[in-house]
Amino acid sequence: MLQEVLDSYALRVFLLKTIMFAQLKLISFITPVIVGIGFGFYFAYLTIQSDFDEKQQPQNVEPRIVKTSSSSNPLPDISSIINSAQNTWQLIEQNRAVMNIKVDYANVLPSEIKSAFDCQKWADEPFTKTFKIKFQNKLNMRIMELVYTVQFTYGGSFENKGQYLDRITIIPTHVYVAYGFKLDASINIPSINNVGTLEEPIAAAYVELKYRLTGMNSIEKTESFFVKGNGQFKYLNQW
């Protein structure tokens, strides 16, 4: 009887050790697989699709047209038409909109005036045009969405001459950035000029929205626009 009990106990111990050994082997096999899948998912999540940039813009926008004017010559003396506000300012910093609409804008005005209030006949409403940029990761998940509005006031004249620009800016109306990614954006006014004549100036300005989206990799792009004192607007290109 005692021998049978001992044999039964030994069998149970043997079976238990066998099961534990099999479990350890299974765990040692599965763990690297799970870790590999986890790292693969993590890498795919944080990798931006470099060939994916879903951007919606208004219809009938003619890209890559730099400017049209009644005069092909810019104003000879650039000091007579100036941007008395800002040339560059931050729009989004570390996923947060940081611009101040009260001070973050550009203008194109006659150099001899002190402010836009010295001009008359401004348009009743500012020009506005809204765009949306969207990026996905390798898992086709939305990781960034930016809705912004290009806005400027136009048509102001000085001593009943010319058409000038004021309050040129870009306003972020919606910013979404997924966890693990960082978005920074800034606005730049690289140049201003007169696309009219000396007698009837038409102020014009190039406006650039530069943004950088960073995850496992990074994407840097620039949206550029051309605005004019007569209210005309051109989406130039993205590069």
The 3-state DSSP class for residue 17 equals: helix
Task: Show Cβ contacts of residue 171 under 8 Å, excluding neighbours closer than 6 positions.
Answer: 99, 101, 148, 149, 151
Nearest to 232 by CA among 57, 66, 84, 119: 66
Residue 14 pLDDT greater than 50, yes or no: yes
Residue 104 tokens read as 């973050």
What pTM value is reported for the model? 0.71
Is the Cβ–Cβ distance between 145 and 183 less than 8 Å? Answer: no
Is the Cβ–Cβ distance between 123 and 155 less than 8 Å? Answer: yes
**What are the sequence ranges of the domains in the chain?**
1-46, 49-238
* pLDDT tens string 21-68: 666 665 666 655 455 555 555 556 667 775 555 555 543 333 322 222
* pLDDT tens string 83-140: 777 788 888 888 888 877 677 899 999 988 888 899 999 999 999 999 999 999 888 9
Nearest to 168 by CA among 92, 79, 228, 78: 228
Is the Cβ–Cβ distance between 207 and 223 less than 8 Å? Answer: no
